[in-house]
Structure 1
Amino acid sequence: MKQTIFLSFLLLSSLTLFSQSNYHSDSYRVTLGDLKTNTYEKDSTANALIIYKYGNSLVDRYDYDLRTEIKQKIKILNKEGFNKANVSIHLYNNENSEQEVEKIVATTYNLVDGKVIKTSLLKKDIFREKHDENHTFVKFALPNIKEGSVITYSYTRISPFMYNYRGWDFQSDIPTLYSEYRTSIPGNWHYNIKLVGGKKLTKNITEIEKDCLQNSRGGSANCANSIYAMKDIPAFIEEDYMTSKSNYLARIEYELQTFKGFDGSVNDYTKTWKTVDREFKTDKEIGRQLKKSIDLEDLLNPEIINENDLLKKASAIYRYIQENYTWNGDYKIFEDVSIKDLIKNKSGNVSSINILLHNLLKESNIIVKPVLISTRSNGFATKIFPVISDFNYLIVQTTINDITYYLDATDNYLSFGEIPFRCLNSYGRLMDFKNGSEWVDIKPSKPSNVYYNVELHLDENETISGKLSSKRTGYHALNHKKSYYKNKEGYLQKLENKFPHLEISDFEVTSDGLTSPDFKESYHINYNYEDTGDHIYLNPFFVEFFNENPFKLQERTYPIDFGYKDTYFYSFKFNFDATKYTVVEYPKTKSIALPNNSGKVLFSAKTLGSTVFIILKISFDKAIYGPEYYSSLKEFMSKIVDIQTNSLILLKKK
């Protein structure tokens, strides 16, 4: 039986090869070079280094268990790397079967006065920790760890779950010099194989071994024996503005497509979307609930039912769900889905809440369809073939007057047409049971903006006072609405703490409540400036959009994902008595742009008579920037921080 393997490479950039100093990355054996070398020239911030990592997965010829041998050799560079000597092996079990681990061997090597000292892990120092009914961890800590230690450990994991062939992480949070994974897959099992993370394999070999697997009745299968390897893999460091690291971590994944028994039977595990659509439509949880009819009079008041404007009606139904039902925080969208229980208990999971919204809109003759998505923290859903377990969230799409809206009623601060930030993960699967499902882009229809307008005046008593007003839209508004309406006193206290040089009074919020698409506030301020006799120093940016540069890595190999486009606008006007003061110094006008005009900073400062005018506008015209923009964004942010912190107005008495 021949084995067919589908290998999908998601290659975004190639990996440059560097010298490996004196480390011996070709094998598991510890050398003097491994012990004597105590730096890693390519990454001076590394606390530890994987010198050699090896895995070998194969099917046992007798009991068909999947056996995976693991070996690692790690250099401890400093004390912050000591945690790499703590090893945890995850084991899964269900009611019938369980994974096991055996042959655990671990050793610490130290170089002391020119001699190699070996310290072995004792069996009594290996512990089992039951996490829950399905998950156990086997843990151990290597002994005698010091700065400069080299540790090795190996073990074999035995799994009866061949449908879940072990994947392999080439990349981790510390650099890796060499990582190799060997697999042997009998032709009975046909997997879709996917390489994730944009790193290039330095070794990719597959050979066929004849009759590697046999059964007692004379049936046999060939095996596809593969070797995958990578060299000089940088550490994956998480930073702001990213989705799940699982989207970008260099690794290989397996998804069982079909199993063919020696008796000729065939089991399909990965199906077409056409098949999934048909099964989903009749699913006892979501599918059945989507078809439930609801008597509108039982839930909605006559004013909503009789509304002729479909957009107003949809908005009213959406608000009704927000106000009357509470999300219990459950992401298990395919379990315990019940509109009946939701209506009774006033609380339920995300599927129950948004399916009730779906059904009320449908009963009101409004076009609506469910959309399956994977949230930002859950990673991207696979597009190559249907993997329903990739999805962990459900929203709805409605079309009114040829305009498409995405809705999620789990958050009572959202305005109509907004979805939570956690849902902004590029795309989702629109479940259209009539015409077939399809992929749809999930992104905000409008940018999120922040506006500040400040007007100050220096009076005859040398007091600087005035008014500040601000407006936020989109996700900037959403965050402030939640902060303000959940704790108004606490919000004002945070505002006062944020501006220690200001005295705030007459605070007022002028937007229209929890679901308003914007958040508007204003307040009177007294500015406590630095007075040095004949000079007054005034920093116009007591409001800072970015008080530090969020980008600190030397290199970033994954996208910068803001989630949405946004703009920041700051207008500052300062009036003074020109007969008593003169402006000696004020900031210089600047203009900065990102490559391809994908973002801009416009900073203008000028004096006209007795007034200083300052305008700062920052725009990010892309929601997601590729890693090739990182160095430009890093410099861009640095200049923004510099403008806000180093802009001074200097007045001198005449």
Structure 2
Amino acid sequence: MKHIYLITLLITALSFSQTSFNSDSFTVSRNDISTHTFNTDSTANALIIYEQGNSFFDKGNYALKTEIRRKIKILNRNGFEWATAKIYLFNDGKRKEKVSQIFATTYNIENGEVIKSELKSDDIFEEIYNEKYTIVKFTLPNIQEGSVLTYSYVLESPFVYKYYPWEFQDEIPKIYSEYNTSIPGNYEYNIKLVGDQKLDKEESTVVKNCLSGPRNSAADCANTTYIMTNIPAFIAEDFMTTKKNYLSRIEYELKVFKGFDGTVNNITKTWKDADKELKTDANIGRQIGKSTSQKAEVANMLTDPKNTLSVAKDIYKYVQDTYVWNGEYKIFNDVSVKNLIKSKSGKVSEINILLHNLLEEHDISVKPILLSTRDNGLPTQLFPVISEFNYMIVQASIDGKTYLLDATDPYLNFGELPFRCLNQYGRLLDFKLGSEWIPIGTNIFSGIQYQVDLKIENDSVTGKVKAKHMGYDALNKRKAFFRNKSTYKDHIADLQSDYKISHHEVQDTERNAKGFSETYRIEKSTDNTGNDMVYINPFIFRIFENNPFKLQQRTYPIDFGYKKSYLYSIQIDLGDTYELIEKPEEILAKLPNNSGQLIINTSLNEQKLMLFFRLNFNESLYSPDYYNILKAYVDKVLDVQSNSLVVLKKI
């Protein structure tokens, strides 16, 4: 057997030594304009040469002000979109953020001269984004390939509980990013640095009496400078959660406010405080445990009332089949289980609270879990930020086992969660003993098992395919099949364009079955070259159509959401007509730390060629250190799928 051992490659830091750009200041140099390449990242369409933010409290009205200056280089036409700036202004219906002092200039070199084009006030527009935000946007004039853009503005916000966050990383590279903050001593914030990029400088000093209050009172300020340089672009790719989980940035959450009169207001609560508030919250605590008025109706449809697990499954299926999710994630607004029962349609929280209450009414131990979906970002674990949660599921404890349940999807099997929920962890609410963080995920492998039997005779290949889908692969298959069976069969035929498909059968008749199994027959003419040689690619089914990993460097995890396993076996009956000339090479490829493997075995026994293929990803989440090795791993699978041949010759 040929062994291929894949070893982890060390990812070296990129060098951003770009002496042509003036990244020391907001001033535009001639070299900034005349330089048209960025050797560090040849794929970049634009880059930020320099940016600076300064946040402080206004001495007059105590509003939070932020001055922003940014210098951008346009490298090619694909970077023109960066000539449009968008400023999002928050409002709560009573107060709103403001922007002023917008100045913007485009710099070009024409006929050897530096030409400046100024933004006109008439080219600044404001539009409604949603009920909470308006957008002020402008596009700089006279944009060309090679242009340098500068713009600056001042933000004013009355919402001091949310100190202005600063994003060091963006979708284009940055050479220099600086953020200066001035925070009075009577404002205490939780400060969180997110992302894998490291600060080059973090320096603080204390300024005495920076903010004055009534009756000659004053506060000292902590003035801090954060600098990050040579920041690579963040490029989104497959197998990741929302990019805000990984973009390097600094965020603030007001913890304590101390008034000049000596009053102290604890803004950020402990989880003990948060639990008390959730317990009495009209949308959460007061809905949980309410009588459903459905107990008698549910009791009549129980198949085995003495079996707790059977009762739980019956109740789960009842909620799945009776109530329809309206697509809303809202868990803290207008939650009413009563309205759900009446209308048969409702929010995530309403459906799962009803599930919780019905299970509890039948003496099953249940607790609600708050979580944040994959596209909503990871919730902060350092302190409670309830607004970061947007979803609710149920934990049921039955006969020593725990099950995570969500009844919003009628195709889910008992104990499965929608893929959107697989976001590492959630907060288990226990109003008696206190809440706690728990992992949210699955240890069950998802994947496909193919068993193919082929026979070659009379210049044709015929055979039978058995396919068994597991986990999330099965969930996707069930949805596709039960929503439109004829379209599903056409799709199967399209996937196997070389083969004619017939006698398709599905063994699972329930839309929320645990798996999905199907069989069908295939037929095609042999690829005969005319010299009695026949070539067959044994890989009728492909695991990958292309390599999803295309970046030179990935700085954030590879998050599949679940473990993956693919098994493919094929038996080719050569009969008495053909002899084997060549078969695929045998392979054993392993990922470090037993985190994955690729195996191909072949054997010939009594004119029957057997090929066994296994591909495993034993982890649902891989660190960025695995990126290059995973890319090579998938490349090998693609090569095997495309270039493995069985060569036969007529006897």
TM tier, shorter chain?
A: over 0.9
Q: Does 1:270 align with 2:271?
A: no
Instruction: Mark the CA change 1:612 to 1:97 in structure 2 (over 3 Å): closer, same or farther.
Output: same
Moved more, 416-425 or 607-616: 607-616
- Contact 1:257-1:269 at 8 Å conserved across structures: yes
- Contact 2:295-2:358 at 8 Å conserved across structures: no
2:129 match: secondary structure? strand
CA–CA separation in structure 2 for the residues paired with 1:346 and 1:519: 28
Q: Does 1:519 align with 2:516?
A: yes
- 1:232-278 alpha-carbon deviations (Å, 9 max, x no partner): 00000001101111111000000111111111122211111111111
Shift of 1:608: 2.6
2:545 match: secondary structure? coil
Residue 214 (structure 1) aligned to one of 201, 206, 212 = 212
Residue 600 (structure 1) aligned to one of 594, 597, 602 = 597
* Superposition pairs of residues 182-261 of structure 1, within 5 angstroms: 182-261=180-259
Shift of 1:531: 2.1
Shift of 1:557: 0.6
Per the normalisation by structure 2, the TM-score is 0.96
- Contact 1:549-1:634 at 8 Å conserved across structures: yes
Residue 612 (structure 2) aligned to one of 594, 611, 615 = 615
The equivalent residue for 2:499 is 502
The equivalent residue for 1:137 is 135
CA–CA separation in structure 2 for the residues paired with 1:110 and 1:442: 53
* Superposition pairs of residues 573-592 of structure 1, within 5 angstroms: 573-578=571-576, 580-592=577-589
- 1:488-546 alpha-carbon deviations (Å, 9 max, x no partner): 11111111111110100000000241111100011011024422112211111120011
Q: Does 1:472 align with 2:469?
A: yes
Q: How many residues align?
A: 640
Residue 485 (structure 1) aligned to one of 477, 482, 486 = 482
- Contact 1:14-1:200 at 8 Å conserved across structures: no
The equivalent residue for 1:5 is none
Shift of 1:611: 1.5
Amino acid across the alignment from 1:396: V
The equivalent residue for 2:434 is 436
- Contact 1:366-1:400 at 8 Å conserved across structures: yes
2:96 match: secondary structure? coil
Q: Does 1:631 align with 2:631?
A: no
* Superposition pairs of residues 213-612 of structure 1, within 5 angstroms: 213-304=211-302, 307-459=305-457, 461-533=458-530, 534-578=532-576, 580-612=577-609
Instruction: Mark the CA change 1:418 to 1:98 in structure 2 (over 3 Å): closer, same or farther.
Output: same
- 1:552-596 alpha-carbon deviations (Å, 9 max, x no partner): 111111110111112100001111224x32222221101100011
CA–CA separation in structure 1 for the residues paired with 2:540 and 2:14: 44
- Contact 1:424-1:442 at 8 Å conserved across structures: yes
CA–CA separation in structure 2 for the residues paired with 1:73 and 1:532: 63
Instruction: Mark the CA change 1:305 to 1:437 in structure 2 (over 3 Å): closer, same or farther.
Output: farther
Shift of 1:17: 5.1
Shift of 1:303: 4.2
Amino acid across the alignment from 1:634: K
CA–CA separation in structure 2 for the residues paired with 1:15 and 1:385: 33
Shift of 1:458: 0.9
* Superposition pairs of residues 27-106 of structure 1, within 5 angstroms: 27-106=25-104
CA–CA separation in structure 2 for the residues paired with 1:66 and 1:295: 51
The equivalent residue for 2:7 is none
The equivalent residue for 1:7 is none
Amino acid across the alignment from 1:69: E
- Contact 1:50-1:72 at 8 Å conserved across structures: yes
Percent identity between matched residues is 50
CA–CA separation in structure 2 for the residues paired with 1:16 and 1:272: 41
Amino acid across the alignment from 2:598: V
Instruction: Mark the CA change 1:359 to 1:14 in structure 2 (over 3 Å): closer, same or farther.
Output: farther
CA–CA separation in structure 1 for the residues paired with 2:318 and 2:497: 41
Shift of 1:216: 3.2
Instruction: Mark the CA change 1:383 to 1:14 in structure 2 (over 3 Å): closer, same or farther.
Output: farther
Amino acid across the alignment from 2:252: Y
Q: 1 or 2 for the larger relative contact order (CA 8 Å, sep ≥6)?
A: 2
Per the normalisation by structure 1, the TM-score is 0.96
Shift of 1:94: 2.3
Moved more, 344-353 or 286-295: 286-295
Amino acid across the alignment from 1:503: K
CA–CA separation in structure 2 for the residues paired with 1:246 and 1:380: 9
CA–CA separation in structure 2 for the residues paired with 1:97 and 1:63: 14
CA–CA separation in structure 1 for the residues paired with 2:448 and 2:126: 52
CA–CA separation in structure 1 for the residues paired with 2:43 and 2:367: 49
Shift of 1:23: 0.6
The equivalent residue for 1:166 is 164
2:491 match: secondary structure? helix
Moved segments of 4+, more than 6 Å: none
The equivalent residue for 2:21 is 23
Amino acid across the alignment from 2:592: P
- Contact 2:105-2:118 at 8 Å conserved across structures: yes
Instruction: Mark the CA change 1:587 to 1:15 in structure 2 (over 3 Å): closer, same or farther.
Output: closer
CA–CA separation in structure 1 for the residues paired with 2:362 and 2:485: 37
Shift of 1:306: 6.5
The equivalent residue for 1:6 is none
Shift of 1:372: 0.5
Root-mean-square deviation (CA, aligned residues, Å) is 1.4
- Contact 1:69-1:154 at 8 Å conserved across structures: yes
The equivalent residue for 2:112 is 114
CA–CA separation in structure 2 for the residues paired with 1:14 and 1:213: 46
Amino acid across the alignment from 1:554: Q
CA–CA separation in structure 1 for the residues paired with 2:184 and 2:13: 32
CA–CA separation in structure 2 for the residues paired with 1:583 and 1:146: 63
- Contact 2:214-2:260 at 8 Å conserved across structures: no
CA–CA separation in structure 2 for the residues paired with 1:450 and 1:643: 18
CA–CA separation in structure 2 for the residues paired with 1:611 and 1:77: 60
Amino acid across the alignment from 2:488: Y
1:162 match: secondary structure? coil
Residue 641 (structure 1) aligned to one of 619, 638, 641 = 638
Structure 1 alignment gaps of length 5 or more:
1-12
Moved more, 342-351 or 504-513: 504-513
CA–CA separation in structure 2 for the residues paired with 1:380 and 1:281: 23
Shift of 1:298: 4.2
Amino acid across the alignment from 2:424: S
CA–CA separation in structure 1 for the residues paired with 2:93 and 2:123: 28
Amino acid across the alignment from 1:28: F
